[in-house]
Amino acid sequence: MLDHRWDDYIAEKRDQAMKAFLQTDTLTASDQWPNVKPTLFFANVRNNILYPSRINQGASTNFCGYAAMTHLLLKYHPEIYLQEILSLYRRGNAKLEKRNLDPSEKVKMAAGTLKNKGELDILHADQLWFLTLADQFRGYMNFFDQSYKRGDENKLWASTNYGKFNRMLRHFTEDEIKAVGSDFIRPFKNDYYTYLSEQLRIGVVILYVNSKFLYPHKFFFLRLRAPTHFIVLYDIYRSGDRMEMQYWDYGLRTQQTISRKNLRKLIFGVTTITSPK
């Protein structure tokens, strides 16, 4: 799924999804999600299909992992995203490749009501989607908070660890996925730059990172040496004794300069999607 190999594939998939969307009833309110407004929901779905890089988790939420996974789904499999989110909207559930999504009534009542989350406040499709994913996929970090309560989008209920993230990817598609690293131990690679460059040549690369080393000016007060964030790596190259990274994060494609030492400290997990089907 390299960008330069898959431009035509991506455009074709987006066009197919948009044709299906244009044949969709975008006026009828859902009887499953009482607080989701049809106008906001369908405008959000349309823009997600057209502009997959713009999706983000909103302000002050723990939806980062779901946003990263959804960015990939929208870019490479928008038809799957459209099918599943319309099924959730109309029937209240959806059938994936390997499991069903059946969100709780508390989640259905909450979608459309989240406030003070930045742009997410009016993105009712994203609220529905992120809340459903957080409700339906569980990892050890969610063990003590498994039933949604107001405000849980900011807490451990909505958090995503590395194993949970990779399971979500595998549930949504039949793509071949390779993952190295963990929540606690970094991948055993002598040269991260060489390894990442090799992975970019064969597929799409997602990094599980410690944000302290990605945005040190924002996290200078933190001393926790642990991964907290997912980004999608699109390019990396040497610039003298430093590395230039181009990646998707927070709804934007960003460029960052980082030292070799901090690159090693940054990365806890590398997931490569090597063969889309």
- Decide which of 141, 169, 197 is a domain's last residue: 169
In this structure, the answer to whether residues 154 and 238 fall within a common structural domain is no
Please report which confidence band the pLDDT of residue 228 belongs to, taking 50, 70 and 90 as the band edges: confident
In this structure, the answer to whether residues 60 and 184 fall within a common structural domain is no
- Decide which of 169, 192, 220 is a domain's last residue: 169
In this structure, the answer to whether residues 156 and 191 fall within a common structural domain is no
The domain containing residue 266 runs over which residues? 175-275
In this structure, the answer to whether residues 199 and 106 fall within a common structural domain is no
In this structure, the answer to whether residues 154 and 207 fall within a common structural domain is no
In this structure, the answer to whether residues 132 and 192 fall within a common structural domain is no
In this structure, the answer to whether residues 127 and 261 fall within a common structural domain is no
In this structure, the answer to whether residues 66 and 115 fall within a common structural domain is yes
Is 187 or 214 the better-scoring residue by pLDDT? 187
- Decide which of 169, 184, 208 is a domain's last residue: 169
In this structure, the answer to whether residues 122 and 141 fall within a common structural domain is yes
- The answer to whether 273 touches 203, Cβ cutoff 8 Å, is yes
Cα atoms in the 13 Å half-sphere on the side-chain side of 219: 16
Helix or strand or coil: residue 232?
A: strand
Rounded Cα distance, 135 and 142, in Å:
10
pLDDT at 220 exceeding the cut of 60: no
Q: Could you give the angle at the alpha carbon of 182 between the alpha carbons of 176 and 187, nearest 5°?
A: 85
In this structure, the answer to whether residues 162 and 193 fall within a common structural domain is no
Stretch 86-102: mean pLDDT:
94
In this structure, the answer to whether residues 136 and 219 fall within a common structural domain is no
243 token code pair: 């590395």
What does the pLDDT read at residue 225? Answer: 63
Q: What's 271's domain CATH number?
A: 3.90.70
In this structure, the answer to whether residues 163 and 188 fall within a common structural domain is no
Q: What are phi and psi of 230, to 5 degrees?
A: -120, 135
What does the pLDDT read at residue 212? Answer: 78
Please tell me the total count of domains within the chain. 2
What does the pLDDT read at residue 221? Answer: 45
pLDDT at 79 exceeding the cut of 50: yes
- The answer to whether 57 touches 221, Cβ cutoff 8 Å, is no
Q: Could you tell me the pTM of the whole model?
A: 0.92
Please report which confidence band the pLDDT of residue 275 belongs to, taking 50, 70 and 90 as the band edges: low
Q: What is the pLDDT of residues 95-149, one digit of tens each?
A: 987 789 999 999 999 999 999 999 999 999 999 999 999 999 998 888 877 799 9
DSSP element (H, E) containing 249: strand 242-249
